[in-house]
C-alpha cells in the first residue's frame, strides 16, 4: 500500500503538468475552435528562457518575466499562424501553420541553447518530505499548487475582468459576441496569449524535476492533448481530472507492468473515450440546428 500511495503521489504531480498544458488547449478552442499544436514548444521556450534568466534574477523574480514572454509568444503564434487561416476560412491551415511555427521555435532553441539537455536549478530543497510513509519532493508539491493556482487565476480573470467576460462571451457564441460590439479578433489573440503563458509557466514548474532542452515539450504536449480530449476540450474541470487519471495510470503501469508500457494506458483511455463519448468525460454535446 505504501508503494501504491507513493506511485499515486508521483502520478498526481505528473498529471497536473499535463492538465496545465491541456488547459491552454481548452482556452483557444473555447474562443476560436482552433488549437495551438506548438504548445509543447511554448513550454520548452518558457523553460529555456527561464533558465537563461535564473542566474541573474533568481527563480522567483524570473517567473513574471517568463509569464510576459509566454504571453507575447502566444500573440505571435495567433497573428502569424492562426489569424490568416481563420480569415480565409481555411479549416486546416491553422493546423499546419501552428505545427510549422512549433518546428521553427524548436530549431531556434537548438541553435541558441544547443541540443544537449540542461539542468534547471531547483528553487526548493531537493530533500524529500515524508507524509505517512510517502516521500514527496517539495518541487512536486509546488507543481501541483502552481498548476492549480494558475488555472484558478485564469478562471478569476474570466469572471471578474471585462476582458475575461469578453472571452466567456466569445466562447459561448462568437457571432453574437461580435454583434454586441466585442472585438472577437482581439479576444482570440488574448486567448492564445494566455494559453502560451500557461504553457511557459508549466515549463518552469516542471523543469527543476526534469532535464531542460529543445525536445522537452514534444511528448508532454502530445499527452496533454490526449488529456484535453479525454476530459473535454471545453471543460476546465475535465482537463484536471483527465490529467490526474493519465498521470496516475502511467506511474502505476510503469511500476507494476513495465516502463515500456507506461504510455499505453493514455492511448487506450483516449480510444475508449472517443468511442463511447467523443466530446470527453466532461464535455457537452452541442446540437446544431440547420
Ramachandran angles phi, psi of 129, nearest 5°: -95, 150
Q: What is the pLDDT along the chain (290 residues), one digit of tens a residue?
A: 778 888 888 888 888 888 888 888 888 888 888 888 889 999 999 999 999 999 999 999 999 999 999 999 999 999 998 888 878 877 778 888 899 999 999 999 999 999 888 999 989 888 888 887 788 888 889 998 998 999 899 888 888 889 888 888 888 888 888 888 888 889 999 999 999 999 999 999 999 988 899 988 888 888 888 888 888 877 778 888 888 888 888 888 888 887 777 778 778 888 888 888 877 777 666 554 44
Collapsing DSSP states into helix, strand and coil, what is residue 258?
A: coil
Strands 134-136 and 129-131, bridge-based pairing: antiparallel
Q: Residue 112's pLDDT is what?
A: 92
- Residue 24: the pLDDT is 87
CA distance 228 to 259: 23
Phi, psi of 135 (to 5 degrees): -90, 125
Q: Report helix angle 2-32 to 162-172, nearest 10.
A: 80
> How many Å apart are CA 196 and CA 190, to the nearest integer?
10
Residues making up the chain, counted from first to last: 290
C-alpha cell at 282: 466532461
- Please, which residues bridge with residue 135 across strands? 130
The SS3 assignment for 234 reads: coil
CB neighbours of residue 49 within 10 Å: 22
pLDDT value of residue 284: 66
Alpha-carbon gap, residue 262 to 269, rounded angstroms? 12
What is the reported pLDDT for 285? Answer: 60
C-alpha cell at 262: 507506461
Cα separation, 245 vs 241, in Å, equals 6
The reported pLDDT for the residue numbered 55 is 93
**Which set of grid coordinates corresponds to residue 247?**
498521470
Inter-CA distances, 127 with 6, 105, 144, 241, Å: 15, 35, 17, 29
Q: What is the C-alpha to C-alpha distance for residues 257 and 241, in angstroms, rounded to an integer?
A: 23
What pLDDT, on the 0 to 100 scale, is given for residue 290?
A: 44
Under a CB-based contact definition with an 8 Å cutoff, are residues 242 and 22 in contact? yes
Amino acid at each position: 500500500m505504501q508503494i501504491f500511495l507513493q506511485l499515486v503521489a508521483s502520478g498526481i504531480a505528473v498529471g497536473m503538468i499535463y492538465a496545465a498544458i491541456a488547459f491552454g488547449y481548452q482556452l483557444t478552442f473555447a474562443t476560436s475552435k482552433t488549437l495551438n499544436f506548438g504548445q509543447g514548444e511554448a513550454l520548452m521556450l518558457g523553460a529555456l528562457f527561464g533558465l537563461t534568466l535564473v542566474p541573474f534574477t533568481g527563480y522567483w523574480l524570473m517567473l513574471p518575466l517568463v509569464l510576459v514572454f509566454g504571453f507575447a509568444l502566444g500573440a505571435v503564434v495567433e497573428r502569424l499562424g492562426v489569424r490568416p487561416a481563420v480569415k480565409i476560412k481555411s479549416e486546416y491551415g491553422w493546423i499546419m501553420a501552428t505545427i510549422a511555427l512549433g518546428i521553427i521555435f524548436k530549431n531556434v532553441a537548438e541553435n541558441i541553447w544547443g541540443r544537449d539537455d540542461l539542468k534547471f536549478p531547483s528553487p526548493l530543497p531537493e530533500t524529500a518530505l515524508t507524509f505517512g510513509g510517502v516521500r514527496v519532493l517539495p518541487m512536486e508539491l509546488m507543481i501541483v499548487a502552481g498548476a492549480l493556482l494558475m488555472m484558478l487565476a485564469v478562471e478569476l480573470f474570466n469572471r471578474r475582468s471585462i476582458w475575461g467576460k469578453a472571452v466567456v462571451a466569445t466562447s459561448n457564441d462568437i457571432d453574437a459576441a461580435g454583434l454586441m460590439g466585442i472585438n472577437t479578433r482581439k479576444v482570440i489573440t488574448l486567448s492564445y496569449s494566455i494559453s502560451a503563458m500557461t504553457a511557459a509557466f508549466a515549463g518552469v514548474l516542471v523543469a527543476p524535476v526534469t532535464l531542460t532542452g529543445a525536445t522537452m515539450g514534444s511528448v508532454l504536449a502530445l499527452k496533454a492533448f490526449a488529456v484535453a480530449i479525454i476530459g473535454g476540450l471545453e471543460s476546465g474541470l475535465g482537463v484536471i481530472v483527465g490529467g490526474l487519471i493519465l498521470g496516475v495510470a502511467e506511474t502505476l503501469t510503469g511500476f507494476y507492468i513495465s516502463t515500456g508500457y507506461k504510455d499505453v494506458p493514455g492511448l487506450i483511455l483516449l480510444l475508449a473515450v472517443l468511442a463511447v463519448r467523443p466530446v470527453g468525460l466532461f464535455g457537452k454535446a452541442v446540437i446544431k440546428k440547420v
